[in-house]
Amino acid sequence: MAFVEWFEFQIPGKVICAENAVSQIGGELDKTGGTKAFLVTDEGVEKAGLTEKVIDGLGSGEAELVGTFKDVPPNSEIQVVQSCYDAAKAAGADCLISVGGGSVIDTTKGCALLMVEGGDLIDHQSAVYMPTGPVPPHIAVPTTAGTGSESTFAAVIKDAEQQVKLIFQGPELAPTIALLDPMMTLTLPSGLTAATGMDALTHCIEALHSEMHEPICDGLALHGIRLISEYLPRAVRDGSDVEARTYMMIAANMGGVAFANAFVGIVHAMAHSVGGRFGVPHGVANAILLPVGMEFNLRYVDEEVPSRYRMVADALGLDVDEVEDLDAAMKAIEFVRDLTVELNIPQRLSEVEVPEDGLEAVTEDAMVDGSMFNNPGEPEYEEVLELFKSAY
Ligand SMILES: [Fe+2]
């Protein structure tokens, strides 16, 4: 294991995990000082009756609900965040509740930023966000177990004009409370359960191979991998398995905290680009690209990638005691590939509406994606293009 000379680990907000935790959201909101709550969600979550549970839970406290925004698309956009902010401002909100997947939670982070700064969201991208005033309290209620966005410092928002995903980040963007309630994920269809779960697995594995890896994140990521390998297949097979849903929410959260500090790498850089340009769902893109990116990173022997993948293999429960690092790593990669087949996730980019003549454009986007800079080595353009072709 590489000698750790220096690292920084920051803990995001409070995490609460319990069956029916949303029934207590009002009391939790009171503790944050929020009094006028604005709820952000999407149509699917609303139709599934999940926002209603949260609104009922507000009765456990004093805060009143002053408005709702339910027009968040699967890959949120700058303009959506601006509209959400306009609605929250018009409603006189002083605190936020997000109920949904990563896109909803990230939209709400962007809204919180605009409630402090006003103006155009796009002016705040890339640099670390330093608020000029108090950021409003935000309780995130995830309805998927994948993004970990409820406990990360970043919001990924698409710039529709340029067809790329932009990253807004800073410790102050982490939600004040992550409210993990497995009952909020019971109605998530198996395909989405599988894809979002693979996003969580990708966070854990990329936090381990990132050049910013460090022991605290290693611990979170490795236990996340253990939980995902055990509970993701169960949650996909039977969506009403509350134990599996609970552990998947915890694993996704651990992966989120791990990558919020250690960051991710080439897999996310490539997944962001096919998501930004061709709308490939984030979890599906990661599931397709994770084994490809891992295999590529095996060349970074000096950065100890093979031995770090041995740790992954161990956490996956594979018997690798008697084999070399490289063979152990290959077993881990094979496991990941087999898992995506078992979970019935598309295997190739050609199956998810990425046009073959778009591979050069997504390569260009991936090369400048922020996640690429924390990969253990720096791939060349031609190498990334080859990876996209091999995943096509
Ligand atoms: Fe992700």
Q: How much distance in Å is there from the Cα of 70 to the middle of ligand 1?
A: 22
Sheet with 95-100, strands from edge to edge, namely 14-17, 177-180, 138-142, 95-100, 36-40, 64-69
Residues of the chain with pLDDT > 70, as a percent, come to 99
Looking at the predicted structure, is the pLDDT value of residue 4 above 80?
A: no
Q: How much distance in Å is there from the Cα of 188 to the middle of ligand 1?
A: 18
**d(C-alpha 218, C-alpha 312), whole Å:** 10
Q: How much distance in Å is there from the Cα of 243 to the middle of ligand 1?
A: 23
Q: How much distance in Å is there from the Cα of 268 to the middle of ligand 1?
A: 6
Of residues 295 and 2, which shows the higher confidence score? 295
- Provide the pLDDT for residue 3: 53
Domain with CATH 3.40.50.1970 in the chain: 14-184
Band the pLDDT of 2: cuts 50, 70, 90.
Answer: low
Q: How much distance in Å is there from the Cα of 202 to the middle of ligand 1?
A: 7
Domain 190-390: CATH superfamily is Dehydroquinate synthase-like - alpha domain (1.20.1090.10)
Instruction: Name the nearest CA neighbour of 13 among 27, 31, 26.
Output: 31
Of residues 137 and 74, which shows the higher confidence score? 137
Domain with CATH 1.20.1090.10 in the chain: 190-390
- Provide the pLDDT for residue 128: 87
Class of residue 233 by CB neighbours under 10 A (exposed 0-12, middle 13-18, buried 19+): middle
Q: Per CATH, is 14-184 categorized as 3.40.50.1970?
A: yes
Looking at the predicted structure, is the pLDDT value of residue 42 above 60?
A: yes
Span 114-165, pLDDT tens digits: 999 999 999 887 678 999 999 999 999 999 999 999 999 999 999 988 888 8
Handedness of CA 196, 304, 221, 344 (dihedral sign): positive
Of residues 46 and 4, which shows the higher confidence score? 46
**d(C-alpha 270, C-alpha 290), whole Å:** 10
